[in-house]
């Protein structure tokens, strides 16, 4: 007998599992998640897990705010720690970006996000020793911080399973099954098994274009390699806020062991990579540039040394925003292209995907489901920040 489920989700990362959980919460438990390796073994396992509501797209700010609220109640919702630490989040901008910062903060306040404008003295109180010469203004979200994307994804998966969702690991999908009229009606695994579904959800991140192509759907994402550094300052970093530097284009947060995690926000010269064959280490040139930026921000590090480096790939779309919605092939729903910012919004992504799959419309009036539709690229209407930053346009 052919295996079947009403909804087959291909990809057991944060977004696929958040959707499985949300569908099950809404009573749709005939859901099967297929993961080619083990849950959260894809890019979710490499996420920096930064949580902020600072977006220039109102739907995304509202989705991140929903994420903060879910993460803050994670123990209650999932019965487990997801590593969320509300260290606070600061974004700092230069003279040329004070206006967009003010406009974004006003927009966030209107959405109910707790956010304050703070001055350099207040930043120095929160992070003693930080050097702020490059900055003209700051916004502070006291409820932001960072979480552990692996633990979060596993919590979604565990909760979904408890509610009745089936999860099958070590099951790679080779192709989508498609009728002559173009409708997708299931998947074929690499072992030749066919699994039928009313809807197939493609949640395969950077690996999505090849699978989409098996049903003639062009998935407009590319893999952008992003290295991460872990730096031992010479003494454990105290509990400081997560800091996003929109002048020198990097971000810094504390690791649970007291190291600093340092990531890049300069997307002016993206490095595209093969997600199945890329270097998992930062190059010497990259390390030199990143450490110079870090030194400028934290000139008083007592005895800094590199603990380690690794790299992941963002699944970027042309506008650095996700695609959440039906594809041109009926029966195929896209949940891809989170472009390096899919952690904080994942609870809202699951909720929106479940809304669209079950009702065809977002249940949250502050989140416009149409923002994320596939057709925006065909129509030449990318999803753009209302208040873009000069030189940091990809800070969505």
Ligand X SMILES: Cc1cc2nc3c(=O)[nH]c(=O)nc-3n(C[C@H](O)[C@H](O)[C@H](O)COP(=O)(O)OP(=O)(O)OC[C@H]3O[C@@H](n4cnc5c(N)ncnc54)[C@H](O)[C@@H]3O)c2cc1C
Query: Interface residues for ligand X in 163-182 (CB under 6 A)?
Result: 172-173
16 is a contact residue toward ligand X (CB under 6 A): yes
Of 55, 135, 138, 338, the one binding ligand X (CB under 6 A) is 338
Question: How big is the site for ligand X, counted in residues (CB under 6 A)?
Answer: 39
41 is a contact residue toward ligand X (CB under 6 A): yes
- Number of other CB atoms surrounding residue 359 within 10 Å: 11
Of 88, 100, 145, 340, the one binding ligand X (CB under 6 A) is 340
Which residues, at least 6 apart from 84, have a Cβ–Cβ distance to it below 8 Å?
51, 71, 72, 74, 145, 146, 147, 148, 152
Query: Interface residues for ligand X in 273-302 (CB under 6 A)?
Result: none
Query: Which range in 36-44, 55-63, 280-288, 368-376 contacts ligand X by CB under 6 A?
Result: 36-44
Sign of the CA dihedral with 44 first, then 304, 251, and 122 last: positive
What span, in angstroms and rounded, lies between the C-alpha atoms of 291 and 248?
Answer: 12
Closest listed residue to residue 33, CA positions, set 21, 51, 25, 45: 21
Of 49, 58, 94, 350, the one binding ligand X (CB under 6 A) is 49
CB of 354: closest distance to ligand X in angstroms?
15
E strands of 233-289, at which residues? 242-245, 250-254, 260-264
Of 9, 115, 149, 260, the one binding ligand X (CB under 6 A) is 149
Query: Which range in 11-19, 71-79, 229-237, 353-361 contacts ligand X by CB under 6 A?
Result: 11-19
Query: Which range in 113-121, 127-135, 264-272, 309-317 contacts ligand X by CB under 6 A?
Result: 309-317
50 is a contact residue toward ligand X (CB under 6 A): yes
- Helical (H) or strand (E) element with 22: helix 14-25
Nearest CB to ligand X, comparing residues 58 and 312: 312
Query: Which range in 99-107, 203-211, 213-221, 364-372 contacts ligand X by CB under 6 A?
Result: 203-211
The two structure tokens encoding residue 325: 């919605």
314 is a contact residue toward ligand X (CB under 6 A): yes
SS3 label, residue 45: helix
Residue 88: HSE in the Cβ half-sphere, 13 Å Cα cutoff: 17
Report the DSSP pairing between strands 3-10 and 31-34. parallel
Which residues, at least 6 apart from 172, have a Cβ–Cβ distance to it below 8 Å?
34, 36, 189, 190
The two structure tokens encoding residue 81: 């720690």
Of 5, 7, 13, 233, the one binding ligand X (CB under 6 A) is 13
34 is a contact residue toward ligand X (CB under 6 A): yes
The two structure tokens encoding residue 45: 């396992």
Contact positions vs ligand X (CB under 6 A):
10-16, 34-37, 41-44, 46-50, 149, 172-173, 203-205, 207, 211, 226, 228, 312-314, 338, 340-344
């Amino acid at each position: 007998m052919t295996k079947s489920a009403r909804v087959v989700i291909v990809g057991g990362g944060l977004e696929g599992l958040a959707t499985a959980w949300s569908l099950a919460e809404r009573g749709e438990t005939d859901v099967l998640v297929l993961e080619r390796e083990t849950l959260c073994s894809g890019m979710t396992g490499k996420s920096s897990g930064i949580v902020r509501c600072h977006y220039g797209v109102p739907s995304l700010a509202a989705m991140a705010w929903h994420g903060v609220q879910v993460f803050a109640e994670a123990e209650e919702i999932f019965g487990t720690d997801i590593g969320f630490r509300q260290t606070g989040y600061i974004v700092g901008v230069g003279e040329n970006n004070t206006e967009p910062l003010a406009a974004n903060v006003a927009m966030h306040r209107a959405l109910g996000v707790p956010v304050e404008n703070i001055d350099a003295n207040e930043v120095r109180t929160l992070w003693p020793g930080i050097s702020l010469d490059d900055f003209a203004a700051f916004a502070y979200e006291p409820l932001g911080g960072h979480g552990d994307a692996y633990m979060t994804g596993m919590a979604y998966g565990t909760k979904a399973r408890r509610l009745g969702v089936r999860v099958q690991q070590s099951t790679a999908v080779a192709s989508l099954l498609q009728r002559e009229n173009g409708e997708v009606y299931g998947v074929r695994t690499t072992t030749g098994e066919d699994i039928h579904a009313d809807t197939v959800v493609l949640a395969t991140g950077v690996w999505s274009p090849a699978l989409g192509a098996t049903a003639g759907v062009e998935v407009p994402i590319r893999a952008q390699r992003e290295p991460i550094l872990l730096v031992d300052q010479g003494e454990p970093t105290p509990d400081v806020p997560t800091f996003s530097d929109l002048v020198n284009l990097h971000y810094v947060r504390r690791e649970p062991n007291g190291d600093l995690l340092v990531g890049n926000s300069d997307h002016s010269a993206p490095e595209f990579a093969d997600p199945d064959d890329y270097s998992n280490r930062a190059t010497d040139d990259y390390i030199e540039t990143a450490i110079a930026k870090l030194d400028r921000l934290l000139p008083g590090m007592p005895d800094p040394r590199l603990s380690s480096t690794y790299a992941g790939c963002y699944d970027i779309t042309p506008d650095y925003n996700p695609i959440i919605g039906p594809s041109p092939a009926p029966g195929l729903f896209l949940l891809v292209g989170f472009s390096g910012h899919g952690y904080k919004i994942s609870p809202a992504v699951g909720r929106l995907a479940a809304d669209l799959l079950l009702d065809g419309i977002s249940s949250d009036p502050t989140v416009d489901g149409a923002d994320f539709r596939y057709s925006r690229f065909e129509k030449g209407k990318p999803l753009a920040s209302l208040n873009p930053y000069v030189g940091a346009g990809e800070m969505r």
